[in-house]
C-alpha cells in the first residue's frame, strides 16, 4: 500500500494557496494530501507535513523559527498560467494598465514574467496593499486578487493566481519520492501551452513590430534629437541623437517625466511651441508638436544643438544619472528572525508613508543604508531619485560643493559650466546623508537652512534655488556627545531627529547569527544546500560564533562567509579557519585545536627531547588506535607549523615550540 505524503502550502493570501493546492491535487491527488496555511497562522498552528512549500523565500525566513529543521522545505517558483493571458494580447499597444497583486514582491515578479512572455506592448503600473501612489486607469489586470482593487476599473482582467512551474513540481515529487506517479504528459502540455500562446502573440504583433523597427531606423538617421512624450509628460520613445545631446543612456530617459530630464523654463507642453534651453552645457532649440491618435494624444519633441554651442563640454557636466542608485533595496532585504528587529522594520515602514526627516543611528554593518533605500522605495517619492552621499569619504572643503554645487569659475579646478549639488539632483526625491556626524560645523548651518526653507545657494552664486527633497541621515556616532563637544549643532539635531530609527547590533539579536550564517552559506554553495550549520562547521566553531561579539555586525559576518567559501574544501570549518583577529583576547591571539591537531601536538610534546616526523606520528597512531592516516598527519603538521606551534629541526623532523607548550597548558589547565 502506498503511503500518502503530506504537503503544506504556506502562502500570504488564501487565493494563492488554494490555487496551488488545486494544481497539486490535479497532478498527484492520489498520492499526496495537500493543505494550505497562511504565513500569519504559523505562530499558532503546528506545521505537520512531509514537505513545507513556501510561495515566497521571505515567508521561509519568517517561518524558520516555527518549523522542525528536519522537515524538508522548498520555495516555489511560480509562473503566469499561459491559458489565462489571451485577453491581455488584445489590449492596445502602449496602453497603461493597473496591475493588482497582494504584495510588492509578488507584483514585481508577476509583471516581470508578463514581460518575459512577450506581453510587453502595454505598461504595467503596480498596485499592492500599502502602495500610496497609483494612477486611475480604465483597465486593470490581476492574478486572482481583484478584491484588492483601490477603485472599480472599467475593465478587470483576471488571469488567475500564478501556478507552480515545472521545475518546482519535479522537485516536489523528487523530495517526496513520488516522481514515478507524475503524469507523463505534464511537460508536453506545458510546452504546448507556451508554443500556442507565443504563436498568438507573434501573429498579433508581427506587422506592428516590423513597422516599429523600420520607423526607429529612419528616426535614428536624423541629425537632431527626437522624443515622443505622452499626454502625462512621460518620455516613451527617443532616437540615438536624443541620447547623445542629453549625455544620458536610453534606460535613464525612458519612462521619466520630460520636465525631470530636460529642466526648461516651460511649465507645460503646448502644440507648436519653441523655446531655448541649456542642456549639458549646450545651448539647444526645443520644438514641440502635438500628435493625436484615436483615443489619446502625445507630443513629438525635437531638440537641436545651436551652432554656437560647444559640443566638447558634454562629458564634463555632472548629471543626475551619475549619482542615482539603481536596484534599490526593499524591507524584505533586511534579513532577520528577531522580534525586536521586526518591530524596528515595522516602524520604518510607517516612516516611509510620512515625508518627515529620518535619522538612522546604529553601529557600522547594521544595514542603515538598506533601511534608507527601503523607506524611499515605499514612499510617494519612489519614482524619483535616491541620491546617497557619504560625508566621511569627503574632505571638509568638498562637502559643501557636493551638497549644494557651485558656479563656473568659483575656484581653481572647478568643472567648466559649474556643477549641480546633490540637493538639486535629487529634487523631488530623497537624499541619504551617511555619516552625518562628520559634516563640518560651518556647513551644518547651511544644511539647517535648507531643512527649514527648502532653498539652496550654490557656491559662487547670488541666486537661490527651491528644492523639494526628503532627507534621511545616518550615523554610527553619538550626536549628543558631539553636541557637548561643540562639534554638532543642537538645532540641526532636532531638525534631523524628527523620525528616529535605531538599528540593533548583531550581538543583541543572537538568534540571527545562525540564521544569517546558514542563509549566506547557501547563497554561495553551488551544489546541495545545507539544512544545518553542523554540515559546514565543527561544533566548537558554532559555539564560538554564537558567543562572538561581532563588532562589524552583519557586514563582518558576510565577509567571513565569503572568505570561508574560498578556502572550503569539503571538510568542516574548524576554529583555526576563522580570521586570526577573531581569536584575539586582550591583545593576545587564542589558538584553537580540533581533536586530531590536539593529539598530534601532544605527541610532539611527549617527544620534545627528540625530533619527530610524520612517519613516527603514524606509528604512534597505530599503537594507540588513533584513526588518523599519514596523509592527514602531513596536513596537520603543516598547519601546526603555520601556527608556530612546532618548527623544523633540519631533515630529522620537527619539535614543539614554546608557543606550542603554552597552548597545551592553556587547554589542559
For residue 607, what is the DSSP state?
Answer: T
Per residue in 565-599, pLDDT (tens digit) is 888 888 889 888 888 788 765 555 667 677 788 88
pLDDT at residue 313 in the model: 35
pLDDT at residue 500 in the model: 93
Going by C-alpha positions, the residue among 60, 156, 57, 161 that lies closest to residue 101 is 161
pLDDT at residue 517 in the model: 94
Burial 396-406 (b: 16+ CB within 10 A, else e): eeebbbbbbbb
The CA distance from 438 to 363, in Å, is 15
Going by C-alpha positions, the residue among 96, 87, 157 that lies closest to residue 121 is 96
pLDDT at residue 278 in the model: 73
* Residue 176, C-alpha cell as written in the block: 517526496
Per residue in 311-349, pLDDT (tens digit) is 333 223 333 433 444 468 889 889 999 989 999 999 999
pLDDT at residue 44 in the model: 81
The CA distance from 323 to 317, in Å, is 12
The CA distance from 352 to 375, in Å, is 5
Residue 131: which region, alpha, beta or left (left: phi > 0; alpha: psi -120 to 50)? beta
pLDDT at residue 486 in the model: 92
The CA distance from 84 to 100, in Å, is 16
pLDDT at residue 317 in the model: 33
* Residue 123, C-alpha cell as written in the block: 505598461
Contact 346, 374 (CB under 8 A): no
In this prediction, the residues of the chain whose per-residue pLDDT falls under 70 are 1-2, 81-84, 116-118, 181-223, 263-268, 280-282, 293-296, 307-327, 396, 408-417, 526-527, 584-590, 592, 650-651, 668-669
The residue whose grid cell reads 563582518 is 556
The CA distance from 10 to 23, in Å, is 15
CB proximity list for 375: less than 8 A, separation 6 or greater = 348, 351, 352, 358, 430, 472
The CA distance from 446 to 452, in Å, is 10
Q: How many C-alpha atoms does 424 have within 13 Å on its Cβ side?
A: 21
Contact 604, 655 (CB under 8 A): yes
How many residues does this entry show for the chain?
669
3-state secondary structure of 545: helix
Amino acid at each position: 500500500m502506498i503511503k500518502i505524503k503530506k504537503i503544506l502550502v504556506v502562502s500570504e493570501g488564501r487565493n494563492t494557496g488554494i490555487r496551488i493546492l488545486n494544481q497539486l491535487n490535479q497532478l498527484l491527488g492520489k498520492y499526496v494530501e495537500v493543505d494550505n496555511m497562511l504565513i500569519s497562522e504559523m505562530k499558532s498552528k503546528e506545521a505537520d507535513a512531509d514537505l513545507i512549500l513556501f510561495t515566497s523565500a521571505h515567508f521561509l525566513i519568517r517561518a524558520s523559527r516555527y518549523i522542525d529543521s528536519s522537515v524538508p522545505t522548498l520555495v516555489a517558483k511560480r509562473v503566469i498560467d499561459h491559458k489565462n493571458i489571451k485577453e491581455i494580447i488584445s489590449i492596445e499597444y502602449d496602453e497603461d494598465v493597473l496591475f493588482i497583486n497582494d504584495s510588492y514582491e509578488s507584483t514585481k515578479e508577476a509583471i516581470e514574467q508578463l514581460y518575459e512572455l512577450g506581453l510587453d506592448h502595454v505598461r504595467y503600473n503596480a498596485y499592492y496593499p500599502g502602495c500610496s501612489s497609483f494612477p486611475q486607469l480604465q483597465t486593470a489586470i490581476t492574478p486572482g486578487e481583484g478584491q484588492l482593487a483601490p477603485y472599480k476599473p472599467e475593465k478587470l482582467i483576471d488571469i488567475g493566481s500564478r501556478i507552480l512551474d515545472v521545475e518546482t513540481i519535479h522537485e516536489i515529487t523528487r523530495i517526496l519520492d513520488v516522481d514515478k506517479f507524475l503524469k507523463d504528459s505534464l511537460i508536453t502540455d506545458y510546452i504546448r501551452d507556451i508554443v500556442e500562446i507565443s504563436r498568438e502573440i507573434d501573429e498579433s504583433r508581427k506587422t506592428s513590430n516590423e513597422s516599429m523597427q523600420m520607423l526607429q531606423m529612419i528616426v535614428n538617421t536624423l541629425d537632431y534629437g527626437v522624443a515622443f512624450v505622452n499626454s502625462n509628460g512621460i518620455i516613451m520613445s527617443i532616437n540615438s541623437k536624443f541620447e547623445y545631446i542629453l549625455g544620458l543612456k536610453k534606460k535613464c530617459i525612458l519612462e521619466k517625466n520630460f520636465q525631470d530630464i530636460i529642466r526648461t523654463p516651460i511649465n507645460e507642453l503646448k502644440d507648436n511651441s519653441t523655446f531655448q534651453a541649456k542642456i549639458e552645457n549646450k545651448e539647444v532649440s526645443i520644438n514641440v508638436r502635438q500628435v493625436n491618435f484615436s483615443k489619446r494624444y502625445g507630443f513629438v519633441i525635437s531638440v537641436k544643438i545651436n551652432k554656437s554651442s560647444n559640443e566638447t563640454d558634454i562629458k564634463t557636466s555632472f548629471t543626475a544619472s551619475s549619482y542615482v542608485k539603481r536596484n534599490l533595496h526593499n524591507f524584505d532585504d533586511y534579513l532577520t528572525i528577531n522580534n525586536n528587529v521586526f518591530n524596528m522594520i515595522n516602524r520604518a515602514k510607517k516612516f516611509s508613508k510620512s515625508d518627515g526627516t529620518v535619522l538612522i543611528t546604529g553601529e557600522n554593518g547594521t544595514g542603515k543604508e538598506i533601511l534608507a533605500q527601503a523607506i524611499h522605495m515605499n514612499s510617494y517619492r519612489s519614482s524619483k531619485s535616491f541620491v546617497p552621499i557619504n560625508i566621511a569619504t569627503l574632505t571638509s572643503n568638498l562637502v559643501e560643493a557636493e551638497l549644494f554645487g557651485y558656479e563656473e569659475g568659483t575656484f581653481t579646478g572647478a568643472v567648466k559650466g559649474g556643477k549641480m549639488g546633490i540637493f538639486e539632483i535629487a529634487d523631488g526625491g530623497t537624499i541619504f546623508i551617511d555619516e552625518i556626524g562628520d559634516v563640518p560645523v560651518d556647513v551644518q548651518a547651511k544644511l539647517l537652512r535648507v531643512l527649514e526653507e527648502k532653498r539652496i545657494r550654490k557656491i559662487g552664486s547670488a541666486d537661490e534655488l527651491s528644492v523639494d527633497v526628503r532627507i534621511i541621515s545616518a550615523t554610527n556616532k553619538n550626536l549628543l556627545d558631539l553636541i557637548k563637544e561643540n562639534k554638532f549643532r543642537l538645532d540641526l539635531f532636532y531638525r534631523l531627529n524628527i523620525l528616529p530609527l535605531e538599528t540593533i547590533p548583531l550581538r543583541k539579536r543572537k538568534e540571527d547569527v545562525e540564521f544569517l550564517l546558514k542563509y549566506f552559506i547557501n547563497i554561495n554553495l553551488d551544489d546541495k544546500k545545507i539544512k544545518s550549520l553542523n554540515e559546514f562547521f565543527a561544533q566548537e566553531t558554532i559555539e564560538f560564533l554564537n558567543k562572538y561579539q561581532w563588532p562589524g555586525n552583519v557586514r563582518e559576518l558576510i565577509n567571513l562567509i565569503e572568505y570561508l567559501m574560498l578556502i572550503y574544501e569539503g571538510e568542516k570549518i574548524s576554529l583555526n579557519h576563522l580570521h586570526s583577529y577573531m581569536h584575539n583576547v586582550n591583545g593576545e591571539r587564542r589558538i584553537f585545536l580540533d581533536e586530531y591537531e590536539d593529539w598530534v601536538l601532544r605527541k610532539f610534546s611527549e617527544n620534545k627531547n627528540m625530533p619527530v616526523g610524520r612517519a613516527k606520528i603514524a606509528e604512534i597512531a597505530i599503537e594507540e588506535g588513533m584513526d588518523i592516516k599519514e596523509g592527514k598527519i602531513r596536513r596537520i603538521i603543516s598547519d601546526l607549523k603555520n601556527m608556530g606551534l612546532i618548527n623544523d629541526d633540519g631533515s630529522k623532523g620537527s619539535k614543539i615550540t614554546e608557543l606550542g607548550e603554552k597552548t597545551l597548558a592553556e587547554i589542559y589547565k
